[in-house]
């Protein structure tokens, strides 16, 4: 049967729509989340403009002031005698002030670059934490979904046994209630996953309505790092650069104790009456210099302020160094503790709980146990499995804090 042209176009559109949808879907993983933030986050893109601002300030600094041209004209009441003078002057620093201003601007550029890296570190840390929380919620949801399906199968089995008169209708109703409760918890986890995905989207620079897929699972815990050097952390680099800038500012303020020298030249023409010979015109060319005398203002207050700022910046750098080392040590300790807990759950508690749950169910099926014992054993196994997911989540959050504390998100 032939297909009309509009029908063919519709068929092609329907065939291509899943491809277009797949292309618009943002797929991220925990290892690749940093690259997505660096390339798409709008806040980070705005922060990068700070570097251009610092470059502009550096381009403006260390320049001589514009030269000046001054003129004067005078005459007598009859306009027969007069004088016209034109001068050109330029102010020059008597010290290396312009070079000091250039050095200070170069430090400001480095500080602006470090500020951008600090914004990047903060955003990547938040995004990685969001992915870890989302993956943990998903694993909790999958666990509850598995338990719900088991509970539904068990409830159906008890219902059929009760219908045959071989089991208790109360136990069948209790099993159905347990399955319904687990289904409600699954829906709650799905809502939480949706909320976490919505919080993650702005960090990834996504558009409204753009679907997000976070793939992968939380990897098993690894050995904690022993590094504690804060030199790679951007805000610590900013603190050191601010301390350096404060020292440069002290040197600059000391150079400002001597104000600029002004030099120039002038040319003048004068017309005067020399009786009885008449009027004469004379021309004059000369040089002019101005030297400020540092008698009343030696910039002592500004120098004192700059020295105090240098001391404050040094103390702030030392305090930040100590804080970073403490943060890294606390995160490293938390990683070790959570890793130990996960190991204990995997090697001891979960196998024991699984064995108890299986034994309770087998005993109940053989008519030698109570249904409440099955529920308690399943609840214990589910609780331990959930605790393991929570511990794994806390381990990775501590690892993210440790890496962020050292400036390596």
* Residue 138 bridge partners (DSSP): none
Element (H, E) at 256: none
Torsion of CA 245, 248, 252, 255, to 10 degrees: 170
Q: Can you give the pLDDT of all 409 residues of the chain as single tens digits?
A: 344 444 444 344 434 444 444 458 889 999 999 999 999 999 999 999 999 999 999 998 888 888 989 998 887 766 677 788 898 999 888 888 889 989 999 999 999 999 999 999 999 999 999 999 999 999 999 888 888 887 777 677 667 666 766 566 776 777 778 778 888 888 998 999 999 999 999 999 998 888 999 998 999 988 877 777 888 899 999 999 999 999 999 999 998 888 888 889 888 888 876 666 667 778 889 888 888 888 888 888 999 999 999 999 999 999 999 999 999 999 999 999 999 999 999 899 888 888 887 787 777 677 666 767 777 777 788 888 889 999 999 999 999 999 999 887 6
Q: What is the DSSP string of 25-88?
A: SEEE-TTTHHHHHHHH-HHHHHHTHHHHHHHHHHHHTT-PPPPEEEEEEEE-TTSSSEEEEEEE
Q: Which is it for strands 68-75 and 212-214: parallel, antiparallel or unpaired? A: unpaired
Pick the closest to residue 306 from 256, 240, 259 (CA basis).
Answer: 256
Q: Angle, nearest 10°, between helix axes 350-365 and 371-405?
A: 160
Sequence-ordered list of residues with C-beta below 8 angstroms from that of 262, at least 6 positions apart, any chain: 89, 90, 91, 92, 289, 290
Report the alpha-carbon distance of residue 344 to residue 346 in Å, rounded.
6
pTM: 0.81
Sequence-ordered list of residues with C-beta below 8 angstroms from that of 164, at least 6 positions apart, any chain: none
Contact predicate 360/336, CB 8 Å: no
Report the alpha-carbon distance of residue 22 to residue 18 in Å, rounded.
6
Contact predicate 245/107, CB 8 Å: yes
Domains in the chain (CATH in brackets) are 25-61+93-259+294-405 (1.20.1600.10)
* Residue 272 bridge partners (DSSP): 280
Sequence-ordered list of residues with C-beta below 8 angstroms from that of 407, at least 6 positions apart, any chain: 117, 121, 230, 231, 232, 233, 234, 236
């Amino acid at each position: 049967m032939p297909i009309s042209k509009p029908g063919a176009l519709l068929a092609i559109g329907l065939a291509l729509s899943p491809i277009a949808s797949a292309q618009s879907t943002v797929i991220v993983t925990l290892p690749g989340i940093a690259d997505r933030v660096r390339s798409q986050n709008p806040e980070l893109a705005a922060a990068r403009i700070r570097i251009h601002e610092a470059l502009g300030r550096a381009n403006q600094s260390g320049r001589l002031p514009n030269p000046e041209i001054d003129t004067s004209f005078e005459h007598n009441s009859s306009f027969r005698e007069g004088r016209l003078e034109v001068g050109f002057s330029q102010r020059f620093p008597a010290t290396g002030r312009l070079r000091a201003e250039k050095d200070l601007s170069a430090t400001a550029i480095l500080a602006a670059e470090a500020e951008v890296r600090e914004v990047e570190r903060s955003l990547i840390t938040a995004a990685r934490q969001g992915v870890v929380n989302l993956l943990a919620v998903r694993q909790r949801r999958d666990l509850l979904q598995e338990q719900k399906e088991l509970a539904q199968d068990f409830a159906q089995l008890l219902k059929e046994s009760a219908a045959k008169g071989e089991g208790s209708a109360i136990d069948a109703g209790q099993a159905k209630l347990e399955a319904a409760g687990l289904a409600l918890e699954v829906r709650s986890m799905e809502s939480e996953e949706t909320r976490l995905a919505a919080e993650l989207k702005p960090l990834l620079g996504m558009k409204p309505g753009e679907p997000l897929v976070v793939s992968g699972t939380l990897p098993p815990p690894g050995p904690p790092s022993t590094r504690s050097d804060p030199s790679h952390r951007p805000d610590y680099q900013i603190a050191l650069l601010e301390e350096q800038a404060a020292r440069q500012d002290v040197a600059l303020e000391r150079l400002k104790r001597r104000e600029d020298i002004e030099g120039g030249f002038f040319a003048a023409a004068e017309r005067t009456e020399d009786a009885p010979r008449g009027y004469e015109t004379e021309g004059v060319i000369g040089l002019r210099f101005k030297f400020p005398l540092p008698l009343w203002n030696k910039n002592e207050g500004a120098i004192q302020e700059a020295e105090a700022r240098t001391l404050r910046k040094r103390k702030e750098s030392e305090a930040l160094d100590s804080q970073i080392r403490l943060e890294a040590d606390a995160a490293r300790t938390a990683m070790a503790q959570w890793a130990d807990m996960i190991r204990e759950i995997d090697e001891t508690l979960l196998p024991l709980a699984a064995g108890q749950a299986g034994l309770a169910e087998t005993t109940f099926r053989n008519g030698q146990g109570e249904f409440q014992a099955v529920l308690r054993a399943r609840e214990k196994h589910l609780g331990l499995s959930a605790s393991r997911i929570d511990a794994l989540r806390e381990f990775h959050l501590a690892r993210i804090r440790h890496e962020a504390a050292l400036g390596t998100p």
